[in-house]
Amino acid sequence: MNRNNGLYLVIGALAVVVIGLGAYIFHEESKPEGIEMSIGQNGVSIEQK
């Protein structure tokens, strides 16, 4: 019985990793194209994406 619990734990952890990676990739791919402006200690920075 203990061996099955470990197997379920490994499968569950892998499922969480796959779902998390999929959500991260979806979020990165859905970012709008264009420019990014930021204001920091070095002044204004503009990047084209």
Mean of the per-residue pLDDT values for the chain?
Answer: 87
Q: What is the pLDDT of residue 23?
A: 95
Number of domains in the chain: 1
Residue 17, H or E segment: helix 2-29
Q: What is the pLDDT of residue 17?
A: 97
Q: Which domain holds residue 7?
A: 2-48
* 1 band by pLDDT with thresholds 50, 70 and 90: low
CA distance 22 to 19: 5
Q: What is the pLDDT of residue 24?
A: 94
One-letter amino acid at 10 equals V
Mean per-residue pLDDT, 12-32: 92
Mean per-residue pLDDT, 17-35: 89
CB 46 within 8 A of CB 30: no
